[in-house]
Amino acid sequence: MKHFSLFLLTLLFASLTLLPSCTGNDDTGTVSLTITADHWERVNLYAWFDDGIQPLGNWPGRALTADKNGRYTFTFPKEVTDVNIVLNNCNADGGEQTPDLLHLTGKRTIHVLDNNECEIK
């Protein structure tokens, strides 16, 4: 049964690209992120749960695409109400990353500062 549950969870996260972005008020508790990292050319999102499951794959995680304003957004499926993340610039030569951002919930805006620390609102 445990393997079947992990299989279903894997299928759920594999379908993330098919889910629409969350707009407006979110009463479900779903984790929704808006990210800015002005000093990075690209942003990857690495995520994990406390049980060790990595919903976006192994390091460095999923590459995000910036909108016309330079913001990156990502919304987890509605079942995800608590997640740990690290943002990174996916640079193999001296890449940069944020500290572990633990137990994020709800809608969050994250600004990566020049020293790779984060302001989270």
- Quick one: pLDDT at residue 46? 96
For residue 10, is pLDDT > 70? no
Model confidence at 85: pLDDT above 60: yes
Domain boundaries, the chain: 2-120
Q: What is the pLDDT of residue 29?
A: 75
Q: What is the mean predicted confidence (pLDDT) over 103-108?
A: 96
Cα–Cα distance measured from residue 52 to residue 68, given in angstroms and rounded to the nearest whole number: 34
Average pLDDT over residues 26-53: 90
Cα separation of 54 and 85, whole Å? 10
Round to whole Å and give the CA distance between 64 and 67. Answer: 10
Architecture of domain 2-120: Sandwich (2.60)
Nearest by Cα to 118 from 25, 57, 40: 40
**Mean pLDDT confidence for 85-97:** 87
